[in-house]
Structure 1
Amino acid sequence: MKKTLFKLFTLTSLIGVSSQVLAAGLPQMEDPSRGRGNGILQTLQNYGYDIIMLVALIVIACMFIGICYHAYMVYADIQSGKKTWGQFGLTVAVGAMLLVIGVWLLTEGTGIL
């Protein structure tokens, strides 16, 4: 019984020391972009704001990829003779307008937070 307790104590003390040594090289967690806040609730709200901004950035990136893909497909149809350069220009213009509107709406939406 004493040997088991001694082994358990030695093992836990080694784990504690090794975890402290391993954690010594890790970087500290950054504060949210709006600052740490006065309490835990305000800090969590600030982290939530950062997460929502990241999701908004991903949405805009997906919109950009979708518009580029559609423009590429229209370009491919031009090469096969199914579409015209005017349709390609219209696709690019409308896509750029949609991106501007999307960025504006997401900026306004995250400003409400």
Structure 2
Amino acid sequence: RDYAEALKWYRKSAAQGNNSGLCDVGFCYRNGTGVPRDFAKAIPFYLQAANQGCPTGAYWLAYSYEHGEGVEKDVKKAMHWYDISSKRGDSDAAEALKRIAAAAAGKKQPRRR
């Protein structure tokens, strides 16, 4: 597998504003594929894709905020981007919203003795 060659083509695609290319470059940085792993470098690619209407970019941006990968952990921002991704048809984002809401509801319940 020639990850450097793949990354070259993903970057060309991303430079043209292609959402798949943007997300693919983000994935390369996230996973350390063809480049050193660097969550922070993935964020601008996910953000651009998300701002262009890509549910996948919005999902991974949300995931990054939820887990503090490349950005400061921020559950409100995570929920915002999961909501956008979900409204664009991403079922994983919808599940993430349910999971976060359930966790928040569980924290609000009084402790039983």
Q: TM-score range by the shorter chain?
A: under 0.3
Structure 1 length as normaliser, TM-score?
0.24
Max Rg structure: 1
Structure 2 length as normaliser, TM-score?
0.24
Bigger proportion of residues as helix:
1
Q: RCO greater where, 1 or 2, for CA within 8 Å and sep 6 or more? A: 1
